[in-house]
Structure formats: structure tokens, C-alpha cells
Amino acid sequence: MEVFHARFTGYAYPMHVHDAWTLLIVDDGAVRYDLDRHEHGTPHDTVSLLPPHVPHNGSPATPHGFRKRVIYLDSSLLDDSLIGPAVDGPDLADPVLRQRVGLLHTALERPGDELEAASRLLFIGERLRGHLRPRGRGGPAYGYGGGAGTGRGERGIAHRLRELLDARLVEGVALEEAARLVGAHPAHLVRAFGAAFGIAPHQYLMSRRVGRARRLLLDGRSPAEVAAETGFYDQSHLTRHFKRLVGVAPGRYRSSAGAR
């Protein structure tokens, strides 16, 4: 629903409630807060999940304050049945989850990487539910990318998604739409694709776009033109992925190719 980054030194939140789940990581300093009349804290290596409708406050736990990143999530990812377990244990000491939440924030800051962000959010939701639901109670798999089989059904799902990504290379496709068109749950869709091809769908899409961009640059097209014609949000979006996959910026790649 919302992303919020902030640094506070002397400010303290009064008691209040949200109508959304609050997924919180602290990058510097620490926060102390009361949730349902019990005191908690957020050292930098934890993830805090505060449920909706439950009063809480917040204040710096160190003299120099704290720097935090927050994502507010609606009930489509975490339903109200998990409020009780979240009240009992809102601070999750899970380094893998902490890393994934940080990577989600990075993806959300980059226009054009919505497919990556949606995929990361799906598996963060699964890991959170794995913490909040007792094992053996029908909860989803606990982790990222594991549990996908490589049978004929999964391979068929993966190949249909690859065909869809190839057909929608420039305009792209949202994860929920892809799941609807392929006929699979979004999380299962991403897992099946990774199991079949060894790469996440968003990585595959960006690789294909970069491959097309290389050919256009070799034809003498400008990076700005190439970005528009290969589905990137803008030239900086192209440059970021191009440098990561090719090792040089598009402009330099075009110039060096022309010099040979």
C-alpha cells in the first residue's frame, strides 16, 4: 500500500493504529515500542511485523535515533487470522528475511522493476506466514525458490510463462496477469520457472531486453532510443541493467563497437 523511509532522532510516536500490516526494518540505531501493552525492540538484524488494528507506539532506543524503512501491506498478502501470532511475536530474527526485505525496498525504488518487486514480495509473504503459522497446519512452503518440482506439469507452466515473456518483451506483464494467463498461482509460477530454467522471470525478461538492446546499439541507435524500443522505463533503467549484464554502459558499448 505504501513505502516509507525516515530517520528520527528525538521524535516519538504516540499510541496509534494502522489499517495495514507494518513491515519494518531498521538500518541504523534501534526502536523500542509497545504493542498490545508489551514492550518490544528492533535491533538492526531483525524484521518487525506489526499487525493492523493493534495499538502501538515507537521511540528511539539509542541517543542518535534510528533510520528505518517500512512497507505497509494490505490483507491480500497477510490475512487477519495472523494478527494474534504477530502480536505474540512481532520481532523476527531471520537474516534471510531481513535481506529479502532490503532487496524488495531496492526494487521498489527503481521504476521499471515492478516484476522483480512483485516476485520478491510474494516470497516475503510466504516466509512471514511460515513464521506466524505453526508447521503442519497447511501453511505455504517456508523459503524462496524451493519446493518447485520439475515434472511435466511444472515444465509446462514454466514454458508457457517463457512464451508469454517473449511475446510481451517490450510492454512487459505484471505477475498477477501472467499467473492468470498461464493458469497458476503466482508463487508456483515463479518457482516453476526458476526450477526449469535456473533464473527468475524478471531476470529472464531483463536479459532478453538487454540482448535486444545490444543489437540495436550495434546498429548505431542512441541509448535513449534503445531504451524506449526495448521496454526499459528510461535510459537510466537501461544503463543499470546493461552494465550489470554486459559490464559497460550502453553509450560506451555503442562507441567501442563502432571503433572496431
Retrieve residue 87's grid coordinates. Answer: 502480536
User: 194 and 248 share a domain?
Assistant: no
Q: Is-contact 214 256, C-beta < 8 A?
A: no
Is 103 contained in some domain? no
For residue 42, the model assigns a pLDDT of 76
- Relative to beta strand 66-73, strand 21-29 is antiparallel
* Start-end of H helices in the chain: 83-88, 95-108, 114-132, 152-167, 175-182, 186-197, 201-218, 223-229, 235-246, 250-259
Is 118 contained in some domain? no
The alpha-carbon radius of gyration of the chain (Å, integer) is 21
Domain coverage including residue 232: 204-259
For residue 259, the model assigns a pLDDT of 44
Is 107 contained in some domain? no
Per-residue pLDDT of the chain (260 residues; tens, 9 = 90+): 889 998 988 888 888 888 899 999 999 988 888 888 788 887 778 999 999 988 888 888 888 888 999 999 988 899 989 999 999 999 999 999 999 999 999 999 988 999 999 999 999 999 999 999 865 444 433 333 334 344 567 788 999 999 999 999 999 999 999 999 999 999 999 999 988 888 889 989 998 899 899 889 988 899 999 999 999 999 999 999 998 888 889 998 888 765 44
Is 219 contained in some domain? yes
User: 70 and 9 share a domain?
Assistant: yes
pLDDT more than 90, % of the chain: 54
| Residue 109 three-state SS | coil
What contacts 28, CB < 8 A, 6 or more positions away?
7, 44, 66, 67
Q: CA-CA distance, 48 to 67, in Å (whole number)?
A: 14
What digits encode the pLDDT tens for the residues 76-100? 899 989 999 999 999 999 999 999 9
| Residue where a domain terminates, one of 94, 127, 162 | 94
- Relative to beta strand 47-50, strand 91-92 is antiparallel
User: 162 and 234 share a domain?
Assistant: no
Is 108 contained in some domain? no
Retrieve residue 56's grid coordinates. Answer: 502501538
User: 246 and 177 share a domain?
Assistant: no
Retrieve residue 115's grid coordinates. Answer: 516484476
5: exposed, middle or buried (Cβ count in 10 Å: 0-12, 13-18, 19+): exposed
Q: CA-CA distance, 22 to 16, in Å (whole number)?
A: 12
Q: CA-CA distance, 73 to 27, in Å (whole number)?
A: 20
Q: CA-CA distance, 231 to 205, in Å (whole number)?
A: 10
User: 80 and 35 share a domain?
Assistant: yes
Q: Is-contact 214 254, C-beta < 8 A?
A: no
* Residue with cell string 531498521: 26
For residue 151, the model assigns a pLDDT of 57
Is 117 contained in some domain? no
CATH number of domain containing 7? 2.60.120.10
Q: Look at the chain and report how many structural domains it folds into.
A: 3
Is 112 contained in some domain? no
User: 14 and 53 share a domain?
Assistant: yes
Q: Which long-range contacts (CB under 8 A, 24 or more apart) does 252-258 make?
A: 253/214, 253/217, 254/217, 254/218, 254/220, 254/221, 254/222, 254/223, 257/217, 257/218, 258/220
Is 53 contained in some domain? yes
User: 81 and 158 share a domain?
Assistant: no
Q: Is-contact 175 115, C-beta < 8 A?
A: yes
CATH number of domain containing 218? 1.10.10.60
